[in-house]
Each structure stands twice: as C-alpha cells, then as structure tokens.
Chains A and B, each alone.
Chain A
C-alpha cells in the first residue's frame, strides 16, 4: 500500500470507466476530420475552443452545483444580466477592472441568494433557479428598456476576448485558467471533497461534520461568478451589452456537464469532463456547420447525440 501512488492509478482507471462518452467524442471528431473539408487545422481548433469558451467557463461553475446534487438554471440569464451591467458600468466611465470585479461580485451575490433560498428555505434548486432565470432575464431587458449598450472600452474587449498571449487568444486563456482553478478546487482541496460528500450522501456528510448548507451555497456562488464571467466575455465579444446574449445557454451548459460524466443526482463528476463536454458540443455544432447542414437540422442531430452520449454514460 503506497498512499502516494493511489490518486494516479485511480484517476487513470476511473477515467476510462467513467468516460465512455470520450470514445464517442473521439469517434465523432475523427468523422469530421475525415469528411468535413479543412476540419483538421489549427484555425479550426482555435475557432472551436473560442466558441466553446463561454460554455466551458459556465460549465466549470455548474459542475460544483451539480455534484452537490443541485442544479442552476439561471446561468444564461445571469450571463445576459452581467453583460448588461458591465456595459452600463463602463458607459459610466467606471475603470475597466473595477467594473469587471463589480460584475463578478454581482454574480457571486446572485449565486449566494439562490444558494440561501435552496438551503435555508429548502426550496428545490430547480424551482429557485427557474425563478432566478425569469427574474434576471427580465431585469436584463428592463435596465435599458431592451436597448443594447455598446462598449467602447478597448481594454475591456481585449481583456475578455480580443487580445492574445503566446499566440493563444483570451477566451482560450480564460478556459485554461478556470479549468486549472476548478480542478484545483474540486480535486485537490478539502472543499472539493466536501462537495462530493454533500452530493454523495448529505446525511452522512452532515454526520461527518461537513456544513452541507455552506458547501452548497458556495457552489452556487461559484456558479454565479462563472456565469457573470461568461457574461463579460459575451459582452466583450460583441462589444456591447445585449440583454438576450446568454438566453438559452443554460441548456448547453447543463448538457456539457452531464456529457462530461457528472451525475445529475450528485456525487460524481469532474471539471475536465465538463470542459471536454463543452468542447464536444462545440465540435459537433462546428462540424455539422462545415458539413453544410442547416442550423435547424443541426439542433436535431445535436440533441440526439447528447441523449445517446448520456445514456451510454449512465450510472
């Protein structure tokens, strides 16, 4: 028994056992590489990663919530709302970094409210966040009376979307940084263990001295923050705060997390899996586009493949 060798061999074993979807993922990518024109190129890869960055970032936060055995449906509208208040703050000449931090703080606060409602009032998270979805999509529209707010601050656009570093664009950097941070938090720190314990068996976790309510609230806070970060990225991409930018994103985000092997019932899951799930959805959409299929039929195929992938990945 060598304790130090345990996490390595275990994670390798679990990886193959738990991620049969990866096989499908590779097969579909291979199909596109062979049959879609010019698919296998650096520019395609970078385009796919850029497109999926927003879903990836949100999926990282969502992973914590879902492993806790909860769900957050409000991430799409929180992203729209965050983009809007970000644009408005910049419009009021608030310094770039201050505006960004304020928006992230708002996202955290929204998550905290959801978390408190779920844990203290014992309302199912599906209902709480369904309500929050409606509230924040409505608020995003109300602030400016549905008008978009354009962003002229170049620092902001560069920070969240346009700039590059070492030949890699900002959205990809954000994905990498958040994946690393999420991995560290979920797989290497005590908090991550408490997340798994809370989702695996909340009663046993409480009896082991885990503050399960606190664990859940913090998971919602993380999810709210990643949603507002995604909102800032969306705003930077279109150089405007648009009240419907994030609409419907929650479905892609939840699909990404579940495809990545996280159990909707809590207790199982991984950060890398969620990011791979997001990229999978991105490749699927991009590949079908390159093959020349209409966006409407794309949706059908995407939905079918998601159902197949998840059904094979069932525990």
Chain B
C-alpha cells in the first residue's frame, strides 16, 4: 500500500499572473481517503482541476502510478481512471438517469449503445443506495439529493482508480451521507485512491485517513487524522492567529443607539418564515447558519430584489417594502448591498475598474454629461486610498484584478454613496488573508462612524470576532440570536443545526 498512486512534484499554476498553486509537492496512495482542507482560494479546486485534466500546470510534473502524465483534456484523465465529482452538478436534466450514467462511457456495438451497459448502471445505482431511482426517470424530476446520488453512481460506474469528490456531500442529508461514506469505504478497500474536499470537519473526521492543509496556493502540511486537534488544523488553514486577522473587539453598542434597520415578521414563500431582526447605528450584525437557510434571501428582501415579500421592513423609520434597488440606494434611504458572488452579481466584467466603481453613483449625476470630475470623484479617490486598492490602471478591465481587489471595487462602488446601512453577503469569500484583514478593519471603521453593518457570512470566525450580535438562520427563520459571551463557535454550530446546547434553552 506504500506505493504512491498520484504524485505532484513542484507543480505551479497561475491565472493571469495571480498564482493559484506555488511549487506544490503532494501525493496520495491507493486505498486511502485523503482529505484536502483549506480556505476558499487556498488552491484546492486548482489542484483538483489539474488532476482531472481540466487545466494544465505551468511548471512541475504530475505522475500517476509512477508514469509522468500530461492530460490535455478531462477525457484523457478519465481514460487513466481519474473521475471527478465537482461541486456543481454536471447532469443533463433532460436525459434519463440511465443515459446520464452511461454518457461518460457509452460502449457501443455496431453504433448502438450496448444493453449490458444499462445493467451496470443499475448496479452502480443500487450500490450507492439509490435503489428507488428508476433508470428511466428524467433527471429534471429528481430532488437535489437524488441527483447527487446519481452523480455518485455515475462516478462509481466509471470504475475509478482516483476518485475526486469536491464538496460532493454538500447537498445530502446526514442519512445519505452515511450511505455515500459506505460506498467510499468499499471503493477504498478495492484500492481506489480518494481525494475528499469538504468544509464539514466532522465528515472529514469520519471518513478521511490523511489530511493535507493548503493555504494561499501552497501545500502546508500533511498528517494522519487524529494527529492534530481541530484548533490546530484551523490555525494551519488560516496561517496566523485569529488576533492578527481581526481588529480588536469594540465596546458594545449601547441600547440607546438608534435602530437603523428594522425587519419585522418578514416572510417570502417557504424560504423566509416570520423573520425579525434589527441593527442599530454603529453595530455589526451577523447573519449565520448553514448554507441557504434564508440568510441570503433576507438580504435580497431588504434590498428590494425579491417580489411578494410580506411583513415590515423599515430603515430609519422609512418603509422599504416594495421599493427596488434604484430607489433604496438614494441618499434619503441609503441602503447598499455587496452581493454574494462578485463575478455574477457584483461586477460587469466587460467594463473597466473605474466604470464599475462609478456604476452605482451614476444615477446621482445631473442629467446630461457624465460627471467625471465632480464631487463623487474626490470621494472615489479617497476610497481607493482607504481601501488600498492595487491596480495597474483604472481603465483596465475589472477582470484583471485579483479577487480581493475586485471585492474592494464592489465595496467602493457602494461606499461612494455613503450609505447608512451596508448589507454584505459573504464579502471575504475566496479572498487572501491580508485583504481579509483590511476589509475587517474597514467594516469596524465604518461601524465606528455610525453605519449599521449587516454581515452575512459562512465563516464562523468572522461572525464571532467581528460581530456584536449574530442571528443564526435555520430553515428560513431565525433559530437563535447570539450576543456577547454566548457568541462562540460551539453555540453557532449548535444553533446552525438547530440543536440546543444548554439545558435551559430546551423548550
């Protein structure tokens, strides 16, 4: 078992000058489950894509079973037995389950798909515990977790030698995760090398044999499961102590501070159920919870992107219900939203850095020519310096900036309007640590200036160290509000899963 199945030697890869992986040495053995840990942007997905043949390394070599390989396409990698399950489901919704499974390897006889292939597809489905899914069912009619099972069956069907799971269990209920882990254990015994990426530490503990930590595109350390405590692993992942990353804790905001944002009894379809929350001037209020429990929707509801929201939303006493972004951004209301995904919701990739930064302020210019040298321009300059934006020229396309700087552009776009309430959706996702620290400091400064900041985040550390209060969402409603000493990682995780830690909290 000591022979290494996959080995990377001083592999580097960069995208447009931004290094994603720097001289990485890494190997994994057959018959082991190897977990890859790291923050977003640590280089995990780049590593996976290299192994799957989606991209090619700039330098260094990859060898499989002792032979140096260079895949020019995922197809070549698949022929060598590398099967990848990416985060995004890759099923064709209009094809049947069976066709989806055999799509990757349609053995043919005289141009027709061989019947026996479907028998194998059935076996693969049974194996992953999806006995109830018929081969003929259309994928579009399946639930998310059923699709995930089909995806796993598809991987098993291809008889992998190296199986890569990129957050493949994220859509599964804990029961199904058990089934999948059973399949993984079986594959492991057959000598398959498995790479497992997950953000759920307990899943890593349950299935992995070895753990490798990546940070900033570098392979930091590899060790056996159990050799380190969770705290040590987190420390390796972020690379410094938490005190360096976060600004010092601020004095609590007095109860007398005026309430800026007041959300009461807001519902939206089945995704938001009777949500009430409030933010005072100078407060940083966190919204936490597992993914997609309603945190994102409440932000969209407040910003006026959703239709048919019931309940009452007010900002400094002004009712926001029914108002849309072009209205709520006006200075008399002063609401701003830094959306979740920079690329799809935050930036216009075809426009320059400067044009992107001016996009929100546009409506405020008097009719006629674009006001390029007016009042907003001075403020924009000040913001560029305050945010320490690194750029070649303001006329370069915004896509040439690094992720952190792109996020600064999105922030600048809104801060130039001097909003009274700033909504942020996972603003530090996929951003390097120095920039994270800068953004944290900026948010604390903004709060100190009296802005109400609402921070939705999937990063528990962020919620604990930055926020005055955290609302934890579960199934579309606020499961718990955590303040002061009650704001801890344990409490957050417990509330996210809607379990009660303390006896007195049990209802």
Which residues of the partner chain B approach A206 to less than 8 Å between Cβ atoms?
Answer: 305, 325
Q: A209, B350: Cβ atoms under 8 Å?
A: no
Interface string of B316-357 (1 = CB under 8 A from A): 000000001110110000000101000011111111101100
B372:A210 contact, CB within 8 angstroms: no
A208 and B345 alpha carbons, distance in the complex (Å): 9
Q: Which of A43-51, A101-109, A197-205, A271-279 has 4 or more CB atoms under 8 Å from chain B?
A: A197-205
Q: A304 an interface residue at 8 Å Cβ cutoff?
A: no
Residues of B within 8 A of A209 (CB): 325-326, 328-329, 360, 363
Instruction: Check A204–B345 contact: CB distance below 8 A.
Output: yes
Complex formed: what's the CA distance from A177 to B347 in Å? 34
Question: Any chain A CB within 8 A of the CB of B395?
Answer: yes
Taking a contact as CB atoms under 8 Å apart, the answer to whether A6 and B395 are in contact is yes
Stretch of A139-147, A185-193, A229-237 at the chain-chain interface: A185-193
**In contact, A201 and B372 (Cβ under 8 angstroms):** no
Contact in complex: A193, B344 (CB < 8 Å): no
* A260 contacts partner chain B, Cβ-Cβ < 8 Å: no
Q: Are A3 and B349 in contact (CB under 8 A)?
A: no
Judged by a CB distance under 8 angstroms, whether B365 is at the interface is yes
In the complex, B394 has a CB within 8 A of chain A: yes
Residues on A with beta carbons closer than 8 Å to the beta carbon of B345: 203-204, 207
Give Cα A267–Cα B398 distance, bound, in whole angstroms: 13
Q: Are A200 and B348 in contact (CB under 8 A)?
A: yes
Asked if residues B350 and A196 are in contact (CB atoms below 8 Å), the reply is: yes
- In the complex, the chain B residue whose C-beta lies closest to that of A14 is B395
A-B contact count (CB 8 A): 92
A208 touches B413 (CB 8 A): yes
How far, in Å, is B387 (CB) from chain A's closest CB?
14
Q: Give the residue name and chain of the B residue nearest to A265 (CB).
A: B350
| CB pair B339 A193 closer than 8 Å | no
Per-residue CB proximity of B270-313 to A under 8 Å, as 1/0? 00000000000000000000000000000000010100000000
Q: Does chain B have a CB within 8 A of A268? A: yes
B346 to chain A, nearest CB (A): 6
Nearest A residue (CB) for B372: A3
Q: Determine whether the beta carbon of B326 is less than 8 Å from that of A1.
A: no
The answer, among A6, A204, A268, for a CB contact under 8 Å with B344, is A204
Bound form: Cα–Cα A9–B395 in Å: 9
- Is the Cβ of A196 less than 8 Å from the Cβ of B351? yes
Q: How many angstroms from the CA of A86 to the CA of B347 in the assembled complex?
A: 45
- List the B side residues contacting A6 at CB < 8 Å: 354, 372, 394-395
Contact at A210–B326, with CB atoms within 8 Å?
A: yes
Complex interface: chain B residues within 8 A of A190 (CB): 362-363, 365, 370
| Alpha-carbon distance A200/B394, docked complex (angstroms) | 18
Name the CB-closest residue of B to A202: B348
In the assembly, what is the distance between CA of A4 and CA of B371, in Å? 11
Residues of A within 8 A of B360 (CB): 208-209
Say yes or no: B325 contacts A196, CB within 8 Å.
no
Mark out the residues of chain B between 29 and 80 whose CB falls within 8 Å of any chain A CB in the assembled complex: none
Task: Check if A211 is an interface residue, CB within 8 A of chain B.
Answer: yes
- Whether the pair B347, A204 counts as a contact (CB closer than 8 A) is yes
B358 CB–A CB distance under 8 Å: yes
Kindly list chain A residues whose C-beta atoms are within 8 Å of the C-beta of B377.
Answer: 3
Interface check B369, CB cutoff 8 A:
yes
A194 within 8 A of B: yes
CA distance A10 to B352 in the complex (A): 10
Q: B372 near A197 (CB under 8 angstroms)?
A: no
Partner of A197, one of B303, B339, B348, B381: B348
Contact between A208 and B394 (Cβ–Cβ < 8 Å)?
A: no
User: Does B103 make an interface contact (CB < 8 A)?
Assistant: no
Quick check: B351 and A200 within 8 Å, CB to CB? Answer: yes
A3-B373, A6-B394, A7-B372 as given contacts; A211 in contact with B348, CB under 8 Å:
no
Instruction: State the Cβ distance, A206 to closest chain B Cβ, in Å.
Output: 7
Encode B353-390 as 1/0 by CB contact (under 8 A) with A.
01100111011010011101100010001000000000
Contact flag A1-B325 (CB < 8 Å), given A190-B363, A196-B348, A204-B345:
no
Given contacts A4-B373, A207-B337, A209-B326, contact A201 B395 (CB under 8 A): no
Shortest CB–CB separation between residue B468 and chain A, in angstroms?
26
Which chain B residue has the least Cβ–Cβ distance from A187?
B370
Tell whether, in the assembled complex, residue B372 and residue A193 are in contact, meaning their CB atoms are under 8 Å apart.
no
Within 8 A of B (CB), among A223-266: 263
Q: Which residues of B contact A (CB under 8 A)?
A: 303, 305, 324-326, 328-329, 337, 339, 344-352, 354-355, 358-360, 362-363, 365, 368-370, 372-373, 377, 381, 394-395, 413
- In the complex, the 7 A-B pairs of residues with the closest C-beta atoms, listed nearest first: A267-B350, A200-B348, A200-B350, A10-B395, A209-B325, A209-B329, A190-B362
Q: Which residues of A contact B (CB under 8 A)?
A: 1, 3-4, 6-7, 9-10, 13, 188-190, 193-194, 196-197, 199-201, 203-211, 263, 267-268
